[in-house]
Amino acid sequence: MTNKIILGAMVALFMLTGCAGNNGSSSSPSFDEVLTSRRSVRSYDASKKISEAEVRELITATQEAPSWANQQPTKYYVAISPEKLAAVQDLVGMNKERIANAPVLIVSTFERGKSGFFQGNQTNEIGDGWGAYDNGLSNCYLILKARAMGFDTLIMGMRDAGQLRQLFSIPENETVMAVIALGYRDGEPTRPNRRALDDIVRFF
């Protein structure tokens, strides 16, 4: 009887420490692993697909991002069908070859006049820049969650906003921001150098 109690206590302790160590799953990467293994990927594995359900999980994670007064101005338009993928590939300039085999391409926009505004008036000098800020936050959640799910991404600022607007019937009150490629890396990307820490921070 005493042995059973001790065994039970050991199992419980093992489960508890396991949970505390890595979000309860030994296969989940740590947050730092997500940060350091995420790279801008410019070559995708054509044999690996991503489902609509997985994209839904990814975009659900972006909804946890903070935004100005919880305005949530970011919208996503997802190309996942062969026809729409081919159309978007033609609208990202010299990125086309880089994302040729990505199974999903996501256009991000934000609704103007929400973040940075109160009762229709611009709150400070940044104006709709706060919408772009919130869009970047959402997209940051997206690329990190993607990495945590084992996917890779490429944010593309080089894209034809006007043609994308037509392709997805994006309303005029939304600003088209980045197109984000989503897929699986085909080979290991290199890490571009970062500036020295003391170039970007001052303590007072």
| Contact residues for ligand FMN, defined by CB under 6 A | 39-40, 42, 95, 98, 154-158, 178, 192
Q: Kindly state the smallest distance separating residue 140's Cβ from ligand FMN, in Å.
A: 9
d(CA 165, CA 162): 5
Q: Kindly state the smallest distance separating residue 53's Cβ from ligand FMN, in Å.
A: 26
3-state helix, strand, coil in the chain (%, to 5): 40, 20, 40
Q: Kindly state the smallest distance separating residue 139's Cβ from ligand FMN, in Å.
A: 8
Q: Kindly state the smallest distance separating residue 179's Cβ from ligand FMN, in Å.
A: 8
Q: Which amino acid is at 76?
A: Y
Handedness of CA 115, 117, 120, 125 (dihedral sign): negative
For ligand FMN, the nearest residue by Cβ is 157
Kindly tell me which of 41 and 55 has the beta carbon lying closer to ligand FMN: 41
Nearest CA among 197, 180, 26, 28 for reference residue 105: 180
Kindly tell me which of 53 and 94 has the beta carbon lying closer to ligand FMN: 94
Torsion of CA 157, 162, 166, 171, to 10 degrees: 90
Kindly tell me which of 23 and 144 has the beta carbon lying closer to ligand FMN: 144
Please, how many CA atoms are within 13 Å of residue 37, restricted to the half-sphere of its CB?
Answer: 18
Kindly tell me which of 49 and 191 has the beta carbon lying closer to ligand FMN: 191
